[in-house]
Amino acid sequence: MSARILVVDDVIPNVKILEAKLSVEYYDVITAYNGPDALVLAEEESPDLILLDVMMPQMDGFEVCQRLKKNPVTAHIPVVMVTALSETADRVQGLEAGADDFLTKPVDDVALFARVKSLLRLKMMMDEFRLREATSQDLGVISPEDGPGSLNQKGRILAIDDNNFSAQQLRAVYEEKYDVTIEGDMEEALVLARGGDFDLAVISMNCTGFDPLRLCSRIRTLEETRQLPILTLVDDSDTERLVKGLELGVNDYVMRPIDNNELAVRTRTQVLRKQYQDRLRHNYHRSMELAVTDALTGLYNRRYMTNHLNTLLSKAGADYRPVSLLIMDIDYFKKVNDTHGHDVGDDVLKQFSSRIGKSVRGIDLACRFGGEEFVVVMPDTDLAVATGVAERLRREVAGQPFSVSQGTLELDITCSIGVTMSQPNEQSDTLLKRADEALYQAKRDGRNRVVTNSAPA
């Protein structure tokens, strides 16, 4: 994960040490030696993360952080406060200034990279989210309710701790802000994790009834829980388990004795990232669907069909295979609407689509072309076969009345169909035009029929 990190500290050796550590891991490091310079750099260079010293002359870290978070250009950049003492008061003040996490000096490598990685992951998700959201809104395929507003749902936490006392402490910390489930048994925890739709697993490394590292590893391996972030609670002397956990894919940790502020910020980071990630995936599927299909019938829409047809037609030379295409139009459909109302008309359109969908082959592409006009694209198909398909579709529609209004009404529906086949180097517009001419011939000839329009010789 390559990223740009701004390191801010008034003591030159401190900056140099952090710069060296981060550069070794291929982060791109920029540096500032005082608050005002940091503010300028943050705005001009838009770093992905800021490591900010608290004690600086002129303007201290709290004030710098506050200003960063107030400025819309820099507000989204995560800030890690680097404090000389592990003073609770400092942390509270840091939180109030809008800090996203804390590091204590001297900064140890495990802590540094755990914090940096987990905040960078969150930032990546949020950046991607904002980008996709902008694109989707430009294309008109995402409605406002898909936006970040809906991220305000209560985070769901699964806390695994078989010590009753510390489990209750966790409950007390989380209860107000989160929907928290406490579990003391490993197998039960796994069942819950697989089915529970959680945003974060908090695992105590002090569990004695089972091996908590084994639980971490199982969560990372199981398909249903692979994406679930894990935060571990570790004794400050237990570096071995801490490091093992991180190697297994644990996302972050908090040392015992637990500082509630620290637990709160790290929990928030993990839960937010998970929620952004879920939302991205959901929006992706949704925009794919919305972008290519018609809402009423579920068939492909005109834009998708036209694109796809042009792709098929562009296969030239030795690759060339004829593409056949038919356009179907419901006969006297206006009368259905006028007699029975628009809802009945919609019902007919849905059933009509489902009959088409059922009787075309898998490689054929059925689309709603317009109001009551439908197109079926048939790759690698000659005119004789396509005419056969059209005749079958016509019978599928005319052969059985349509049952509408929850079965209270039966309507006889017919359709007319125009068929044609592509020529080498042809584009979609002329192909569609030829099929349309055939359709109108079918209408003129009395409807409920198929007319074939072979290409000009």
Catalytic machinery residues = 372
Q: Which residues, 275 to 314, sit near ligand GH3 by CB under 6 A?
A: 296
- For residue 157, count CB atoms less than 10 angstroms from its CB and return exposed for 0-12, middle for 13-18, buried for 19 or more: buried
**Distance in Å, CB of 444 to ligand GH3, minimum:** 10
Q: Among ligand GH3, Mg ion, none, what does residue 185 contact (CB within 5–8 Å per kind)?
A: none
Among 333, 369, 374, 402, binds ligand GH3 (CB under 6 A): 333
Helix (H) or strand (E) holding 255: strand 252-256
Least separation in angstroms between CB 370 and ligand GH3? 7
Query: Considering the complex, what minimum distance in angstroms separates the CB of residue 402 from Mg ion?
Result: 15
For residue 88, the tally of other CB atoms under 10 A from its CB is: 12
CB atoms within 10 A of CB 240: 11
Instruction: Pick what 16 binds: Mg ion, ligand GH3, none; C-beta below 5 to 8 Å, kind-dependent.
Output: none
Minimal distance in Å, beta carbon 396 to Mg ion?
A: 17
Tokens, residue 405: 């209004």
What are 31's two structure tokens?
Answer: 């540096």
Beta-strand (E) ranges in 76-207? 79-83, 101-104, 156-160, 179-183, 200-204
- HSE at residue 141, side-chain half, CA atoms within 13 A, is 18
Stretch that binds ligand GH3, among 47-55, 169-177, 327-335, 403-411 (CB under 6 A): 327-335
Strands 200-204 and 179-183: unpaired
99 vs 349, beta carbon nearer ligand GH3: 349
Q: Is 329 in the site for Mg ion (CB under 5 A)?
A: yes
Contact between 369 and Mg ion per CB under 5 A = no
What's at 57, amino acid-wise? P
The binding track of 385-404 with respect to Mg ion, each residue x by CB under 5 A or -, is --------------------
- Biggest CA pair distance of the chain: 91
- CB atoms under 10 Å from CB of 237, counted, come to 10
Joined tokens for residue 418? 């125009």
Query: Would you tell me how many other CB atoms lie within 10 Å of the CB of residue 450?
Result: 24
State which residue, 134 or 296, has the beta carbon closest to ligand GH3: 296
Least separation in angstroms between CB 133 and ligand GH3: 29
List, in order, residues 6 or more apart from 405 with CB less than 8 Å away. 340, 343, 344, 347
Q: What tokens were used for 425?
A: 């180097």
- 271, 264 Cβ separation under 8 angstroms: no
Binding of Mg ion by 333 (CB under 5 A): yes
Q: Does 349 bind ligand GH3 (CB under 6 A)?
A: yes
Q: According to the binding rule CB under 6 A, does residue 79 interact with ligand GH3?
A: no
443 binds, among Mg ion, ligand GH3, none (CB under 5 to 8 A by kind): ligand GH3
* Alpha helix stretches (DSSP H) within 140-196: 164-174, 186-195
Stretch that binds ligand GH3, among 25-33, 54-62, 222-230, 342-350 (CB under 6 A): 342-350
Q: Which does 361 bind (CB under 5 to 8 A by kind): Mg ion, ligand GH3, none?
A: none
Instruction: Name the residue nearer to ligand GH3 (CB basis): 112 or 330.
Output: 330
Nearest to Mg ion of 328, 389 (CB atom)? 328
In terms of CB distance, is 21 or 368 closer to Mg ion? Answer: 368
Pattern 186-215, binding to ligand GH3, x per CB under 6 A? ------------------------------
CA distance 30 to 154: 36
Helix (H) or strand (E) holding 417, with range, is: strand 415-421
User: Site residues (CB under 6 A) for ligand GH3?
Assistant: 296, 329-334, 337, 342, 345-346, 349, 371-372, 443, 447
User: Site residues (CB under 5 A) for Mg ion?
Assistant: 329-330, 333, 372
